[in-house]
Structure 1
Amino acid sequence: MFGIYLKRELGRRKKAALVIAMGLALGIALVITVNSVSAGMNQAQDKVLKSLYGLGTDMTVTKAQSAPKAGSSQGPSFKFGATSSSSTSQSTDRVNTQGGQALASSLVTKVGSQKGVSAAVGALTLNVTKVDGSFTQGKAKSSTTSGSSGSSQQGGPGGGGTSSTGAPQVQGGGANFNVNSYSVAGIDVTDQTLGPLSTSKITTGKTFTTAQTNAKVAVISKSYAKTKKYKVGSTFKISSTKFTVIGIATPNSSESTVDVYVPLKQAQTLGDSKNKVTTIYVKATDSKQISSVKTTIQKNISGTTVTTSADLASTVSGSLSTASNLATSVGKWLSIAVLIAAFLVAALLTSSAVSRRVREFGTLKALGWPSRKVTRQVVGESMVNGLIGGGLGIALGLLAAYTVTAISPKLTAQLGSTSTGGGGGMGGGPGGGQGGPGQQATSNTLEIALNAPVSLTTIALAVGLAVTGGLIAGAMGGWRASRMRPADALRSVS
């Protein structure tokens, strides 16, 4: 009886039911869209952070660079020996550590033994500035001038000639040099699941083996290999040490900031940093306890700076940060406002429909229907309207999320700044200017494609909202219907 009556009443009021369902559908669709876009923002931010940290890395331990001593020079310095050759080729590498003050390698073991730490590995980051080119020695030439007096004839009586030699002048010569700056990361080859190389995938060749802890081999990034036209088997030198390329790495999520990867011991030798590291990558046993692990490390190992993914997330700027803030703040409150409005509209429309059914409900009560049965009838109709609205809302929300994913708008993320060496030629000579390797602070900007994934949790939330909206509308309509008396039906008869 309940089902038959419910079907008949909904069929009689299709327009009213559709209006209520569409109101709920719009609110639910907006919630799904905002949630899916917000999830896409989090995924994009995770990609950005993984490019800095490494897959599975929860925090890093570093030490701030100490202030330079008075009178010391922090700029690049190159020395070339003088020779007597007229044209001499020169090449030199300047290798210095990056990423803060060097830490003792023993700290890696100490950090790994802290409570809540699952694994810890050390890495040494270097910057190599290579200067190569040639000096060309100039040649000194003197100019000779001559003159005559009284006669154009020379050597005869009464005639004479004079000549003078001018000051020597240097002609030709100078210098022509190129400057190339690139980054090198020394990694612990015994555990490559943490650290800089873990954010990349070996697409050509192979990665390091555990036996290559001090081998003169290297893995290079795909972009650097393309620039230098390196391939597996190619060789190159860093400070007279010859390395062989064994693999080419492609970043998993974004552009890598490291050009060359070598075993940690080799990097320590190149940077004259024996038993030193610049960064310790840490993985926690429980991702929910990262904050407490950070506190423990800072307490037990003084002088270090512990940075978590949450700390880095706050430094991400650009359109990714703007869109993320919009999705998490404005989008959230907009969704709540629209849902409240949809629920109120559904409740008011249901209550208004009950008012127009005074004679119907009064007659049913006169025939013996109790108030609870009348209330159940109204709530049932509202629940069906809510479920229809939920289905429509899920469909609209999935369509919106699919559209965002199909379009894949590009977002930019800026991650502080890095120092890069400028390259170019330097010319010199008498009166000529001199140039040097330039250092320029540039923002590390990444471009991320936005996706809008819809999870089962979001779908479950949409169904819950649909049921809630139906219950709220049914509760108000049912309460009003239950208060009607049979006499109301007689008064409404025209």
Structure 2
Amino acid sequence: MFVLTYLRRELRHRSRQAMLVATGLAVGVGLVLATTATAAAVDDAQTAVLHTLNGIGTDLTVTATPSADRRAGATGSGSADGSGSADGASSTGLSVAGGAVLDSSTVRAIAGLAHVAGVADSLVLSEITLPPTGSGGIPTSTRIDGIDVTRLGLGPAASATLRSGRPLSRADSRGDVAVIDTQYAAAHHLGVGSTITVAGTRFAVVGIVSQPTATGAASIYLPLAAAQRLPAGQHSKPLAGKVSTIYVSASTAADVGAVETELAALLPSATLSSSRDLAEAVNGSLASATTLMHDLGTWLTVGVLLATVAAASLFTLASVTRRTRELGTLKAIGWTSWRVITQIMAESGTVGLAGAALGVAVGYAGIGLVNAVAPTLTATVGTGTGAHNLAVHLNAHTEPSTLAAAALIAIAAALIAGTLAAWRTTRLRPAHALAEVE
């Protein structure tokens, strides 16, 4: 009881000193919270932009590398323009994106690798539709993705949002059904229940999806087996049992490098693309902000921590120095060094708690300010004529774990300062202390 009474007395007696230390700790905590919240907002914005890229949801993408003399041509007839195409339009046939394919047995081999958590395959096709003769129009290209309906969480359909109808499911693995993009549906006046024709094969539209504005989005999604049954255009071999892209998910983020190494050994001639490659496809002010926040966040956090500990230590040591006679008197009347140390640590811990609470309030104020004044960032996805500009709004936020960590930082800084001051008191001799003038 005496310790608590003495603690209250000392904190009240030195309230200005205590508030100064608590304010310093609060500023440090507030800066850490505001910085980490802003960094989290930038990361979320980058994730949202990356989500528009084909292949998101996977750690690595494997595609076949075409040989030097291989060309993705097209022959045959049929229309991919659906019921809304112009009369007289004709199709040059299908071609495989990239002009090269992999055998589906490759998927099973990849699934057996040690650090692989999931695998999905797809067959990406393209059909060129010629305008009616004499119309003066230009040919149009329709991208068709045959997707693995047993693993819809991976691959090109993962970022699509269902707008009407239903998505493809396991039951559609052998069916002639399709899901189409909203823009494609609007351009050709299609809806759920309509019929489209791809390379002479009719498909019933069972769903319509919207996709983020980016490169690589398909107009038509078919079950993989249905896509593999389509005519192969100029390819001499049929597409049955063939895939063009394999999406691979690692067991953990730390295993991505190991999976990349395993894939390179298993498929030395294939082309591997990782999440890092996707990130490099994004540029603009968002990319600059991401780099800046990562660098600034790291160094600012370290600098704030060092400055906070240093300032708290100096103030606490100065306080202990001014209390030399008082502490010497306590030791002279029987207080042990351990009891004096406990008293100083208790005072420091209390100041640390006050600084943590005030720092959380400062941090939330800083986060609100960031959300109020942060400019809208831009991101450019893709290159050339396929590039798309996206506006990205920052939403700084913090998690309970971050709040707890920031509060612990303030308390730890105060305790470190108290430890240094307490260590000094252990060297204090009562006779010398009593001779000091406070």
TM-score scaled by structure 1?
A: 0.75
The secondary structure found in structure 2 opposite 1:177 is coil
- Checking the alignment, whether the CA contact within 8 Å between 2:214 and 2:388 is kept in structure 1 is no
1:302 aligns with 2:268: yes
1:476 aligns with 2:420: yes
Partner residue, 1:221: 181
State how far apart, in whole Å, the 2-side matches of 1:101 and 1:453 are.
Answer: 45
Partner residue, 2:8: 7
Partner residue, 2:143: 183
1:36-75 alignment runs, 5 A limit: 36-52=37-53, 56-68=57-69
- Checking the alignment, whether the CA contact within 8 Å between 2:215 and 2:381 is kept in structure 1 is no
Deviating 4+ runs (over 6 angstroms): 74-79, 252-256
The secondary structure found in structure 2 opposite 1:198 is coil
1:447-458 alignment runs, 5 A limit: 447-458=391-402
Partner residue, 2:104: 105
- Checking the alignment, whether the CA contact within 8 Å between 2:96 and 2:126 is kept in structure 1 is yes
The Cα offsets for residues 32-59 of structure 1, whole Å up to 9 and x where unpaired, read as 2222333333333334444435575332
- Checking the alignment, whether the CA contact within 8 Å between 1:53 and 1:60 is kept in structure 2 is no
1:356 equivalent among 303, 322, 334: 322
The secondary structure found in structure 2 opposite 1:60 is strand
1:281 aligns with 2:279: no
Larger helix proportion of the pair: 2
Sort the Cα spacing of 1:334 and 1:288 in 2 relative to 1 into closer, same or farther, 3 A: closer
1:87-486 alignment runs, 5 A limit: 90-94=88-92, 95-99=94-98, 101-135=100-134, 175-251=135-211, 257-268=217-228, 269=230, 271-272=232-233, 274-275=239-240, 276-404=242-370, 410-417=376-383, 441-486=385-430
The secondary structure found in structure 2 opposite 1:258 is coil
State how far apart, in whole Å, the 1-side matches of 2:392 and 2:123 are.
Answer: 28
- Checking the alignment, whether the CA contact within 8 Å between 1:25 and 1:390 is kept in structure 2 is yes
Instruction: Count the aligned residue pairs.
Output: 422
Sort the Cα spacing of 1:493 and 1:282 in 2 relative to 1 into closer, same or farther, 3 A: closer
Sort the Cα spacing of 1:340 and 1:285 in 2 relative to 1 into closer, same or farther, 3 A: closer
Partner residue, 2:81: none
State how far apart, in whole Å, the 1-side matches of 2:30 and 2:16 are.
Answer: 20
State how far apart, in whole Å, the 1-side matches of 2:279 and 2:302 are.
Answer: 26
- Checking the alignment, whether the CA contact within 8 Å between 2:24 and 2:308 is kept in structure 1 is yes
Sort the Cα spacing of 1:405 and 1:97 in 2 relative to 1 into closer, same or farther, 3 A: farther
State how far apart, in whole Å, the 1-side matches of 2:98 and 2:26 are.
Answer: 52
Kindly, what percent of the aligned residue pairs are identical? 36
The Cα offsets for residues 189-248 of structure 1, whole Å up to 9 and x where unpaired, read as 333232211222323101224343354322112333344443212333344444332101
State how far apart, in whole Å, the 2-side matches of 1:468 and 1:58 are.
Answer: 38
The Cα offsets for residues 236-271 of structure 1, whole Å up to 9 and x where unpaired, read as 334444433210113489887222212224434155
Partner residue, 1:427: none
- Checking the alignment, whether the CA contact within 8 Å between 1:99 and 1:279 is kept in structure 2 is no
- Checking the alignment, whether the CA contact within 8 Å between 1:133 and 1:178 is kept in structure 2 is no
State how far apart, in whole Å, the 1-side matches of 2:389 and 2:213 are.
Answer: 13
Sort the Cα spacing of 1:8 and 1:193 in 2 relative to 1 into closer, same or farther, 3 A: same
State how far apart, in whole Å, the 2-side matches of 1:252 and 1:7 are.
Answer: 60
Sort the Cα spacing of 1:256 and 1:225 in 2 relative to 1 into closer, same or farther, 3 A: farther
| Deviation of the 1:60 alpha carbon | 1.5
* Letter aligned with residue 387 of structure 2: S
| Deviation of the 1:453 alpha carbon | 3.6
| Deviation of the 1:279 alpha carbon | 0.3
State how far apart, in whole Å, the 1-side matches of 2:11 and 2:214 are.
Answer: 54
| Deviation of the 1:278 alpha carbon | 1.5
**CA radius of gyration, larger in:** 1
- Checking the alignment, whether the CA contact within 8 Å between 2:53 and 2:214 is kept in structure 1 is no
Larger strand proportion of the pair: 1
Comparing 245-254 and 187-196, the one that deviates more: 245-254
- Checking the alignment, whether the CA contact within 8 Å between 2:90 and 2:132 is kept in structure 1 is no
State how far apart, in whole Å, the 1-side matches of 2:393 and 2:232 are.
Answer: 37
State how far apart, in whole Å, the 2-side matches of 1:60 and 1:248 are.
Answer: 26
Sort the Cα spacing of 1:239 and 1:391 in 2 relative to 1 into closer, same or farther, 3 A: same
Sort the Cα spacing of 1:248 and 1:409 in 2 relative to 1 into closer, same or farther, 3 A: farther
State how far apart, in whole Å, the 2-side matches of 1:232 and 1:28 are.
Answer: 54
State how far apart, in whole Å, the 1-side matches of 2:359 and 2:306 are.
Answer: 15
| Deviation of the 1:7 alpha carbon | 0.8
- Checking the alignment, whether the CA contact within 8 Å between 1:219 and 1:260 is kept in structure 2 is yes
State how far apart, in whole Å, the 1-side matches of 2:198 and 2:358 are.
Answer: 63
The Cα offsets for residues 370-416 of structure 1, whole Å up to 9 and x where unpaired, read as 33322322222112111111111122223333554577854434443
State how far apart, in whole Å, the 1-side matches of 2:182 and 2:392 are.
Answer: 18
1:26-45 alignment runs, 5 A limit: 26-45=27-46
* Letter aligned with residue 168 of structure 2: F
State how far apart, in whole Å, the 2-side matches of 1:211 and 1:382 are.
Answer: 66
Comparing 238-247 and 183-192, the one that deviates more: 238-247
* Letter aligned with residue 367 of structure 1: I
Q: What RMSD in Å do the two structures reach over aligned CA positions?
A: 3.3
- Checking the alignment, whether the CA contact within 8 Å between 1:220 and 1:260 is kept in structure 2 is yes
Sort the Cα spacing of 1:375 and 1:116 in 2 relative to 1 into closer, same or farther, 3 A: closer
State how far apart, in whole Å, the 1-side matches of 2:192 and 2:369 are.
Answer: 41
- Checking the alignment, whether the CA contact within 8 Å between 1:53 and 1:59 is kept in structure 2 is no
State how far apart, in whole Å, the 2-side matches of 1:212 and 1:91 are.
Answer: 29
Sort the Cα spacing of 1:479 and 1:55 in 2 relative to 1 into closer, same or farther, 3 A: same
The Cα offsets for residues 139-159 of structure 1, whole Å up to 9 and x where unpaired, read as xxxxxxxxxxxxxxxxxxxxx
State how far apart, in whole Å, the 2-side matches of 1:258 and 1:379 are.
Answer: 64
State how far apart, in whole Å, the 2-side matches of 1:127 and 1:361 are.
Answer: 84
